[in-house]
């Protein structure tokens, strides 16, 4: 185990801080984003997390609640600036008028923004909570 101690000491000496890891935000008393905060037109849009997520964060853990009046409606998340749709976090409505829950992980850019896309107005309930972040 001495090898691990040596690596951590070297990391602290080089970087001046502890190795990167997950920071649990704790127990927020309200959601960070609600239905009215989102544009629901099937277009990728920026979502600014800088009000909660600190500088130098590399990724975020998100708790998502979603409901729609029809099935096969999507809420998608991706790193800001990505153009392809292979590396996305997606949630799809399987049962109409039932709240669906999911946890998603998305990398953030230097400005602490991500992108989202909601298929259409059938999505009538959205709650997004930032659970924590990685450095």
Q: Rounded to 5 degrees, what angle do the CA atoms 118, 123, 126 make?
A: 80
Q: Which fold has domain 19-134?
A: Jelly Rolls (2.60.120)
* Short-list 59, 60, 55, CA closest to 32: 60
Could you report the per-residue pLDDT of 15-45, keeping only the tens digit for each? Answer: 555 556 899 999 988 999 999 999 999 999 9
Could you report the per-residue pLDDT of 56-81, keeping only the tens digit for each? Answer: 999 999 999 999 999 999 999 999 99
Domain residue ranges of the chain, discontinuous segments joined by +? 19-134
Q: Which 8-state DSSP code applies to residue 52?
A: T
Q: What is the pTM of this model?
A: 0.83
SS3 10: helix
């Amino acid at each position: 185990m001495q090898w691990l101690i040596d690596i951590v000491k070297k990391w602290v000496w080089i970087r001046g801080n502890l190795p990167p890891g997950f920071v649990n935000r704790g127990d927020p008393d309200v959601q960070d984003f609600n239905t009215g905060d989102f544009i629901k037109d099937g277009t990728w849009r920026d979502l600014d997390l800088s009000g909660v997520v600190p500088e130098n964060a590399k990724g975020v853990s998100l708790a998502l609640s979603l409901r729609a009046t029809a099935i096969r409606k999507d809420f998608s998340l991706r790193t800001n600036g990505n153009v392809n749709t292979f590396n996305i976090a997606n949630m799809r409505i399987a049962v109409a008028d039932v709240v669906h829950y999911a946890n998603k992980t998305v990398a953030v850019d230097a400005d602490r923004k991500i992108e989202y896309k909601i298929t259409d107005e059938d999505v009538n309930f959205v709650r997004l909570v930032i659970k924590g972040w990685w450095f």
